[in-house]
Structure 1
Amino acid sequence: MTRRRRRLQQRRREIGLSQEQLADACGVNTSTVRRWESGETEPQPRQRRLLALTLDLSPTELTGLLDTDAAALDRAMVPFAGYDPTPMDSEPGPDAVRDALEWILDPTGPLHSLTAAPGRTRHVGTALIDHVADRIIRFRRADDTVAARRLLPEVVGEIDRVETVLSHHSYNDTTGRRLHGMLAELYQLVGWMAIDLGRIRRGEEFYATGAAAARTAGDSALVAQLLSCNAYQRTSRGQDALLLARAALHGGRDTLSPLGRILLTERIAWAAANTGNADLARAALHDVDDTYVLVGTEPEPDWVYWLDRNESDVMAARCHLRLGDPGRAAALLRPAIDRYPADHKRERALYLTWLAESYTQSGNRDAATEVISEIEDLDVDSARLQTRLALIR
């Protein structure tokens, strides 16, 4: 005899999702969600990960909702700190989105053949790992133009496949380190996407898990990057973000490439600007300018492929805005945004919010209103963007 999971249904409704929207986020049919809520079936491991993320629950909390024991359900539904009831849009994307997904997602990708029958041990060689590395690069590029809610289930699926290979197949030490490094990169990607969907706590947990995988891989630069990602995310909440950002750069200083050092130094500048430490913020921005002369002198990791002078101008502008110089911020932002690729709408929209804020602080409300209209015309699906717009309207 099955028992309806009313608390699971209640949580979905609190988040603001229909059964169809929850199914879309988890990559399943609506009928599957109905069976979960009726108690007829159990979510599979990959689906549990997505279900917990979408409902903004930890794995333990989700287990409580799936458990039919009344006491466990009552414990699981204690209000969660930092709960953000941000609904996720489930409208189908344009054909361009589907085309991009088809380009990067091969249903018979390199790991699928290994994970289809995990009980059968196989030795993992270099050629297969190279294919997986290429898929991660494609995931990163797709994130520039594909909404996070559509890409996230595929990246989570790749994480599951890498973890299955690590636990069920054989490989030499070098391949094992590469696998853990790729797992760390995937967790960085999924952390970023979770945050874009408004799941802040989940994103930070993914960053922490990725940092642990990077340590196992022996990749100090990647550990530093993931720690710095968490510092950047925590800046607005003042949770020792500056200390964490400086520790990340210090820990990776001997292994970071020039662009890697620039990225982590910019995050120090941002954390310093947000805590009113003008001298440190400006010193960090000067360090960024000085380090650019070294770019091109050594190989760069793919996780900094997007970083260039244009991006650094945007970050410098944001720091100047926080330090009370909106005129200087606007002077940097407008040309930087105009140079930004037209199809990278999410970043363009986010950067435009800083321009609108610059105009507002300067007292030019008409210019700010025009920029907000420009943002709305881009029609971007991003919880982060909606949060920014709410702050500047």
Structure 2
Amino acid sequence: MARLRARRQERGATVGLAERRKALGYSQEGLAHALGVDRTTIGRWENGRNLPQPSLRRKIAALLQLGLAELDTLTLQLPAEPQEPAGPPLCDCHAPGDMDDDMIRRDFLRVLAVSGALPALSVDEAAALTEGIHRGNSTDFTRMNSHLWQVYQLARVKGSVYPIVREQLQALHRTLDGRSDAEVSGLRSAAADLFQLAGELAFDGNRYTDAAASYVLAASVSKDVGSFDLWACALVRHAYVDMYERQYREAASTLSAAGTIASRGDSSMSTRYWVASVQAEAYAGMGDLTACERALDEAEKVLDLPGPIHNGGWLRFDGSRLAEERGARYVQLGRLNLGETALMGALDHDPLAKGPSFRRRGAVLTDLAVIGAKRRDTDQVVTFGSEALQLALETTSGYVARRLQVLRAELGPIARDRRIAELDAGIRALNMM
């Protein structure tokens, strides 16, 4: 640490890493998402406790619009009175006592979700469309939940549904209070359903620990009432929390449990095929092309199911997004031509007039822009990236905003182009809203 301080004095630099981040409009969380690390990792770099891993240096430099030498200067800036740690390594390594509290809680919640344990958690989540659902009939709650899922799916601004869901959960809690076990079975299923929607809202708002807590409750209650499909879907949603932290092996473990549970559910429903679709994403993140394609092929079997295969609420998988999923997985794996073909097909055959999710369209557009960035094709980046940015602004979707941060990390050498710089500034501004 003394050696780093001496090098700082030699360089005579006055601007640190935190100042550079703020000047470019990044919050710590925004920069962390773009790099695929935890927010506290950024804090450790900025306070001088750790240095970035060598594998991340080029990406950090590109995002902060620095040369590697300039980045080295900034990462060697230490606070005026640094705390001397008890010998941690000078790299971005997570020693057992150095893990972020949120990361620990999320991993704990993942284990609880898979095991089906029900901890005494307080989840500040939401729900109810009207004020009149105090009769306490499980059928009423189920019907209202179904309506809420439709509202959520169609809403351009997902956060607008939050107060409604919150009220619904409060009403359900009041109804459950004091009832016997024999009276509450149907109400518990409605609660598990609603906790999944609460988790979706938290996830879209980048509140991952809140989302994980909601999914744990959904999984636990589903297990308690013996609803295997509902339980499996809660685990799938929990796996997404790990995947957006790039913890693909942990996600794959959760999804394996979800697959086992789904196999015990209703074979006429699409649950097991949704599990396979999400497993493909985990395998792509692990770089396993063979396992990814095998999972995608399994997911496509959903197209052979007759009749109603989902409920339009906590289970909505019908195979309509398989083309975009396959395209996104190929982009993850670096198979750009295959990815572009699949994504363009998804864009052409999923027009807005047919009511697809705005965030799904934003994700497809962003993936096409990422392909352009990898090819150094500025026209493609601007065409698709600008439309995705507009969707993110109109919907305030954290999901699309996160995808756009991934695009920023790919801009690299083309970032100096005027049009690319304008797009980059627009994406950067999302972190400040």
Alignment partner of 2:138 out of 129, 134, 147: 129
1:300-359: CA deviation from partner (whole Å, max 9, x where unpaired): 333366433331111111111112212211211123234143554233223321221123
CA drift of 1:192 comes to: 0.8
Residue equivalent to 1:212: 220
Q: Is the 8 A contact 1:318 1:354 kept in 2?
A: yes
2:152 counterpart of 1:143: yes
- Report the identity percentage: 20
Q: Is the 8 A contact 2:280 2:296 kept in 1?
A: yes
Q: Is the 8 A contact 1:220 1:251 kept in 2?
A: yes
1:42-88: CA deviation from partner (whole Å, max 9, x where unpaired): xxxxxxxxxxxxxxxxxxxxxxxxxxxxxxxxxxxxx85469xxxxx
2:287 counterpart of 1:276: yes
Q: Is the 8 A contact 1:313 1:333 kept in 2?
A: yes
| Cα distance in 1 between the residues matched to 2:162 and 2:374 | 36
| Cα distance in 2 between the residues matched to 1:341 and 1:262 | 25
Residue equivalent to 2:11: none
Larger Rg: 2
Residue equivalent to 2:367: 354
CA RMSD of aligned residues (A): 2.7
2:348 counterpart of 1:334: no
What code does the residue aligned with 1:194 have? A
The unaligned stretches of length 5 or more in structure 1 are: 1-13, 17-78, 84-103, 115-123
2:183 counterpart of 1:183: no
Residue equivalent to 2:238: 230
2:401 counterpart of 1:386: yes
Partner of 1:255, secondary structure, is coil
Q: Pairwise mapping of residues 174-323 of structure 1 onto structure 2 (< 5 A)? A: 176-236=184-244, 237-238=246-247, 240-256=250-266, 257-293=268-304, 295-297=305-307, 300-303=310-313, 306-323=316-333
1:24-45: CA deviation from partner (whole Å, max 9, x where unpaired): xxxxxxxxxxxxxxxxxxxxxx
Q: Is the 8 A contact 1:228 1:244 kept in 2?
A: yes
Q: Is the 8 A contact 1:184 1:214 kept in 2?
A: yes
Alignment partner of 1:105 out of 129, 148, 162: 129
Residue equivalent to 1:365: 378
Q: Is the 8 A contact 1:188 1:226 kept in 2?
A: yes
Distance 1:309 1:359, change over 3 A: farther
| Cα distance in 2 between the residues matched to 1:300 and 1:374 | 31
Distance 1:303 1:265, change over 3 A: farther
Q: Is the 8 A contact 1:227 1:248 kept in 2?
A: yes
Higher RCO (CA 8 Å, separation ≥ 6 residues): 2
The unaligned stretches of length 5 or more in structure 2 are: 1-26, 30-99, 105-127, 409-433
Distance 1:290 1:366, change over 3 A: same
| Cα distance in 2 between the residues matched to 1:148 and 1:15 | 23
| Cα distance in 2 between the residues matched to 1:315 and 1:381 | 22
Q: TM-score, normalised by structure 1?
A: 0.65
| Cα distance in 2 between the residues matched to 1:157 and 1:217 | 23
| Cα distance in 2 between the residues matched to 1:302 and 1:387 | 25
